[in-house]
């Protein structure tokens, strides 16, 4: 059974999902950061021994979280595709044609594919998206009178057990005026951070979101 966490931001309701996605209830919008489609193919081309199943895993995760929330809008917070078009682009365009939500891409530093290619498959592309007081970007930023939701960092934290055991896990990080989403895609890595005492960390496992105080 999937265990989520629900939080309030500026009087709006958001659900954190173990996949790394976040659902905005009032806007019926699903937010996903850093899928990095095409990365597996890119590294396999250069000799990395990554199983082909990693490609299908990303699409399986996308299908699963869409089924859980049935959003009207799907917003990718940057780094949707890792680099230039490769064979995964065709898989992605086929997948897009078979989903019902409106799709928006807030561009990230890896999004070097021409916006016209996305527009051809009915994806709206923008550098940022301000909705009421919520600012959606790829790279985290602080802007007066807004709460920023972003990705880019691939946040993770290291949990320590008894003795010297430790494990690093991806997480959502909520700051005073920011929420940073974990990377959604497989084979994306983590950047280990040390939250401040004012921060809230929400660790994700395969089936759970767990708040760490």
> Is the model's pLDDT at 162 over the cut of 80?
no
Domain total of the chain:
1
- Characterize the bridge pairing of strands 147-150 and 134-136: parallel
Structure tokens at 134: 């919520």
**Could you give the angle at the alpha carbon of 110 between the alpha carbons of 106 and 115, nearest 5°?**
55
Q: What's 184's domain CATH number? A: 3.60.21
b/e per residue 191-201 (b: at least 16 CB within 10 A): eebeeeeeebb
The parent domain of residue 166 ranges over 5-212
The mean pLDDT value for 189-205 works out to 91
The CA distance from 100 to 29, in Å, is 12
> Is the model's pLDDT at 71 over the cut of 70?
yes
What 3-state DSSP class applies to 139? coil
The mean pLDDT value for 28-54 works out to 69
The mean pLDDT value for 24-31 works out to 98
Residue 42 pLDDT: 47
H or E stretch at 89: helix 87-97
Residue 52 pLDDT: 61
């Amino acid at each position: 059974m999937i265990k989520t966490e629900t939080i309030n931001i500026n009087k709006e309701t958001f659900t954190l999902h173990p996949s790394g996605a976040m659902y905005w209830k009032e806007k019926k919008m699903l937010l996903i950061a850093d899928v990095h489609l095409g990365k597996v193919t890119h590294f396999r081309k250069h000799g990395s021994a990554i199983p082909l199943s990693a490609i299908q895993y990303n699409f399986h995760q996308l299908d699963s979280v869409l089924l859980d929330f049935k959003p009207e809008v799907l917003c990718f917070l940057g780094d949707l595709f890792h680099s230039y078009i490769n064979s995964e682009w065709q898989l992605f365009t086929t997948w897009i044609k078979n989903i019902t939500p409106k799709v928006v891409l807030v561009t990230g530093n890896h999004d070097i594919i021409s916006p016209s290619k996305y527009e051809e498959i009915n994806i709206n592309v923008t550098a940022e998206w301000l909705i009421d007081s919520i600012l959606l970007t790829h790279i985290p930023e602080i802007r007066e009178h807004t709460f920023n939701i972003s990705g880019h960092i691939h946040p993770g934290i290291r949990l320590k057990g008894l003795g010297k055991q430790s494990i690093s896990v991806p997480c959502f990080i909520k700051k005073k005026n920011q929420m940073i989403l974990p990377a959604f895609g497989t084979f994306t890595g983590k950047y280990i951070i040390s939250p401040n005492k004012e921060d809230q960390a929400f660790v994700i496992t395969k089936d759970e979101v767990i708040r760490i105080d």
